[in-house]
Structure 1
Amino acid sequence: MERTVRADASTPAPQPRLDGIPSQRGPVGSATALPRTVAVVPSEAPRVRVRRVPRPWRLLPTPTGTPFTFAYVAVLAVTSLVAAHAGPALVHALYQGSSTDVVHLVRTPVLVLVGSAMWIAGGVLSPYAIGLLLVLTVLERRIGGARTAAVFLLGHVLATLATEVPVGIAVLVGHLPESSLHRLDYGVSFGVATSVGALAGLLTPRLRWPLLAAVGWTLVSDLVAFTDPMTNWGHLISLGIGVAVWPLVRRWRDAHTAVRALRVAGR
Structure 2
Amino acid sequence: MVQRMISAEQVLALGFPRAVEALREALGGGLDPESEPARSRVALGGGEVLIMPSGDDRIAGVKLVGIAPGNPARGLPRIHGTYVLFDAPTLAPRAVLDGAALTLLRTPAVSALGVDLVAPPGVRKLVVFGTGPQARGHIEALRAVRPIDSVRVVGRSHERTTRFAGEIAKAEVADADAVADADIVACCTTAREPLFDGRRLKPGAVVVAVGSHEPEAREVDTETVRRCGALVESRAVAVREAGDIIQAGLDETELVTFADLVRGTIPARPRLIKTVGMGWEDLVIAAAVVEALG
The TM-score, its normalising length taken from structure 2, stands at: 0.23
Which of structures 1 and 2 has the bigger CA Rg? Answer: 1
Going by fraction, where is helix more abundant, 1 or 2? Answer: 1
